[in-house]
Amino acid sequence: MSQSTATYATVILPLALPKPFTYEVPAELRERVQFGVRVEVQFGRTTAAGQGGKLYSALVIEVHQRAPEAYQPKPVLDVLDDEPLIHSAQVQLWQWMARYYCCTLGEVMHAALPSHLKLSGETRLSLHPLHSGDLTGLSDREYLVAEALTIQESITIEDVRDILERKTVYPVIKSLLEKKIVLLQEDLQEKFKPKTVICVELAEPYASDPTKLNQAFELTSRSSKQTTALMAFIQLSKQQSFVLRQEVCELADVENPSVKAIADKGIFRLYEREVSRLGSYEEDTIDADALSPQQEKALGEIRGHFEQKNTVLLHGVTGSGKTKIYMELMSEVIARGGQALYLLPEIALTTQLTARLQRYLGDQLAVYHSKLNNNERVELWNAVLAGKPVVMGARSALLLPFSRLELIIVDEEHDPSFKQNDPAPRYNGRDSAIYLAQLHGAKVLLGTATPSVESYHNALSGKYGLVEMTERFGGVQMPEIVLADARQEMKQRQMQSHFTTQLLNELKAAIERGEQAILFQNRRGYAPTYRCFSCGWHSECIHCDVSLTYHKFSHLLKCHYCGYQSKLPPECPACGNRQLTLYGFGTEKIEDELKIYLPDARIARLDLDTARTRNAHAAIINDFEERRFDILVGTQMVTKGLDFENVGIVGVLSADQLLQFPDFRSAERGFQLMVQVAGRAGRKNKRGKVIIQAMNTAHPVLQEVIANDYKGFFQREIAERRAFRYPPFTRLIRITLKHKAPEVLNAGAEIFTKALHQSLGDWVTGPAAPYISRVRGLYLLDYLIKMERDPRKMEFAKSSIDTATHILQSTEGFSGVRVVVDVDPG
Ligand code: ADP
Ligand code: ZN
Ligand code: ZN
């Protein structure tokens, strides 16, 4: 029977389907269909004649002989790749993520694959702006598509089907993308323009045959400048993976023309190299330096723990020199031919750290950040597939196709941005990294100055190894932290706008000493509320339940949740009063007012408004580093991974605000933020000073921050978590119901609550309106499921949520209620 010899391919479609789908592989494609390649398939309702249904590129995860029982499989239409795009461990990770974080495999794959690798019918193409217009050498089909694009600016893949009068078009598009004749529309958005530097290397035959260098020296012997330049180059090239022309000039004390003369003689080759826009290469000496005794000891302890444990927590105070330890461990992995993954919060990727690592690792390092364009993403994907030794990236880098992963470093492991909140998969990058490491038999090093309560708990309980570094590198002292009592100063009328006199005096003194300062205010814009004094009206977003923030530069009121913006009403829309007032303050106002109190200071601001692009962000940091500004005012952006050697003062403007989030993690987050921002003070030769302004100076967290007492903080916090049954003692799942009509939402919640209660009883709290109860036009209701840490209980809870969702959505009138499930919410 033909049935028994038929071959099937199980694929993941780029859709939120609960399960993978199986297709039949026609005999003529059987050779080419294998694990990890993309195939073109039809999905959706079709007529009896097989018409209709949309076409997708889907990823093959299994080739087998088992016919699906529930449906008649459709055929695979075409095969896009000759080589697999993924490794098998990836599919295991995806499956785990889909199960653990309650989403579909399609959603995980969507997050993992670069856009170029997951084309769909609606994808828009346009002509590559750098294409010459020369269409010779193209196949007939490629030609037709390219020609169409010379007439129309952009076309969809569905259009391509009409043009070619055939269904399977992905192979043609793939080829046009690879030949850089077309590109996807989204590529046309702003791109990161890399900065390049000129580098020097030996030309042939000298490069491959060092014995010929004698001849090179003979060729330069008549110029002493050229001879010293050549010697300088040789010395530098022994120590580093690439040599800048500038370095050669500096070491040899010659000018560019001497280097050029050597190149003209065929000895040097000059080439351009992309560098991060940050980090001054000249100053960076760390990598040649030996480890401090503390680093040596920590490294030994980490290696020791790795013999028995898969995960180690490195708790090292800010400035203790954790990066150097990561580099050492990564070098070992590279030397063995393995791969290492270095994860860190997205924002920290744009900083000096990238430059430092690039310097150290050269081409062995790939950096994966959110601003890569689609071509770069594919290139990086392929490089990792081919075994790139080190990848540095934000959380999604763990979805890349590693094959020989031996080490994962999660730097700033406490950082909330490791959790993806929206869209699915709502995964925690740190926790997923630990699972990924298990799949590869790799080790995980979690590093931070302020461990998450979960990780520290795991370390104390012996699940993770614990290694501590309590001193800063080079004997630099920890900063002195003092509180500025804003309430007291207010009573005594000493406050000057939002600044305590104490803070202003310290700032003045620091600037006079030639030092720089950082001020942290966790809110951007000018003022978060615009209010009517007489009737209490305040400006609110029309789509969200939040007040609009006034932005002075654009003179607009803006919503930070949905982007809605409006002009300032000239009078109160409710009562007509013309005296409307701004309340509160954000970074923009701080910058503005500082100029009044410190007229001579040069001030810059680092927040989402000034640093929307990677370039702008880099430029601000670079300028501050080069001391073109005295004071840097910023949001959370100033707290992460920055290392400025001249910062004498750090100010936190409203500490109370940091401790007031309506969340069980509020104290933890507040503590972490303050210790991290304090860590920016006094990094090199001098003890820094941190001034924390607060109304309630008696808050226990503030006392712990001042004493730099992580352990004290942890003891108090863990006792509360235990008493109130919060993680790490329990597990949480948050469920959010969303709908645009509050009546529908409330009625739907009744149905959902009943279904949930039936199986989960008192594990459930809610429904309750969250702190922000409407976002982007949708009303929200939250549930929290709290249970013991037992995988079976977790499974049970998830299947109960599934059932309740099904009951709700299949009740007439409620199919439109969205149910969002967030496991281990951040
Ligand atoms: P952390 O990440 O623990 O906050 P860093 O790794 O940024 O600390 O190190 C703090 C400072 O000490 C940096 O300026 C770094 O250049 C310097 N440093 C660390 N280790 C060494 C070393 N072994 N030799 C020379 N300088 C070092
Ligand atoms: Zn009013
Ligand atoms: Zn809004």
CB 618 within 8 A of CB 278: yes
- 243 pLDDT band, cuts 50/70/90, is confident
**Ligand in nearest proximity to the CA of 578:** 2
pLDDT tens sequence across 144-163: 898 888 888 888 888 888 88
What pLDDT does 281 receive? 39
What pLDDT does 47 receive? 63
Higher pLDDT, 161 or 310: 310
- Atom 18 (ligand 1): residue with closest C-alpha? 321
What pLDDT does 280 receive? 37
- 124 pLDDT band, cuts 50/70/90, is confident
| Mean pLDDT along residues 27-44 | 92
| Mean pLDDT along residues 169-182 | 84
- 185 pLDDT band, cuts 50/70/90, is low
**Ligand in nearest proximity to the CA of 411:** 1
Task: Answer whether residue 594 shows pLDDT above 90.
Answer: yes
Task: Answer whether residue 231 shows pLDDT above 60.
Answer: yes
Own/partner pairs, 26-35, CB within 8 angstroms, 24+ separation? 26/75, 26/76, 29/76, 29/78, 29/79, 32/79, 32/82, 33/7, 33/9, 33/60, 33/63, 33/76, 33/79, 34/60, 34/63, 34/84, 35/60, 35/61, 35/62, 35/63, 35/84, 35/88
- 275 pLDDT band, cuts 50/70/90, is low
Q: Which of 272-286, 303-317, 739-753 has the lowest mean pLDDT?
A: 272-286
What pLDDT does 51 receive? 60
Q: Could you say which DSSP state residue 287 is in?
A: G
Specify the length of the chain in residues. Answer: 826
- 276 pLDDT band, cuts 50/70/90, is very low
| Mean pLDDT along residues 756-774 | 93
319 lines ligand 1 (CB under 6 A): yes
* Residue to probe by mutation, ligand 1, list 286, 294, 344, 360, most atoms within 8 Å of CB: 286
Residue partners of 161: CB distance under 8 A and separation at least 6: 55, 167, 169
- 189 pLDDT band, cuts 50/70/90, is very low
- 48 pLDDT band, cuts 50/70/90, is low
Task: Answer whether residue 188 shows pLDDT above 50.
Answer: no
Q: What is the mean pLDDT of the chain?
A: 89
Cα–Cα distance for residue pair 826/819, rounded to 1 Å: 18
Q: How far is the CA of 570 from the centre of ligand 2 (A)?
A: 11
- 284 pLDDT band, cuts 50/70/90, is very low
What pLDDT does 327 receive? 93
Query: Which atom in ligand 1 lies closest to the alpha carbon of residue 473?
Result: 12
Task: Answer whether residue 121 shows pLDDT above 70.
Answer: no
CB 160 within 8 A of CB 125: yes
Query: Which atom in ligand 1 lies closest to the alpha carbon of residue 474?
Result: 12
473 lines ligand 1 (CB under 6 A): yes
What pLDDT does 184 receive? 75
Task: Answer whether residue 634 shows pLDDT above 80.
Answer: yes
| Mean pLDDT along residues 38-53 | 74
What pLDDT does 236 receive? 87
Q: How far is the CA of 398 from the centre of ligand 2 (A)?
A: 52
Task: Answer whether residue 395 shows pLDDT above 60.
Answer: yes
Give the three-state DSSP class for 322. Answer: helix
| Mean pLDDT along residues 798-803 | 96
pLDDT tens sequence across 650-674: 999 999 988 987 789 999 999 999 9
CA 161 → CA 123, 167, 173, 560, distances in Å? 12, 6, 11, 41
Q: Which of 73-87, 319-333, 351-365, 530-544 has the lowest mean pLDDT?
A: 351-365
641 lines ligand 1 (CB under 6 A): no
**pTM exceeding the 0.85 threshold for the entire prediction:** no
What pLDDT does 237 receive? 85
Task: Answer whether residue 286 shows pLDDT above 60.
Answer: no
Task: Answer whether residue 9 shows pLDDT above 60.
Answer: yes
pLDDT tens sequence across 707-732: 999 999 999 999 999 999 999 999 99
Query: Which atom in ligand 1 lies closest to the alpha carbon of residue 291?
Result: 23
Task: Answer whether residue 186 shows pLDDT above 80.
Answer: no
Q: Which of 101-115, 232-246, 377-391, 448-462 has the lowest mean pLDDT?
A: 232-246
What pLDDT does 349 receive? 72
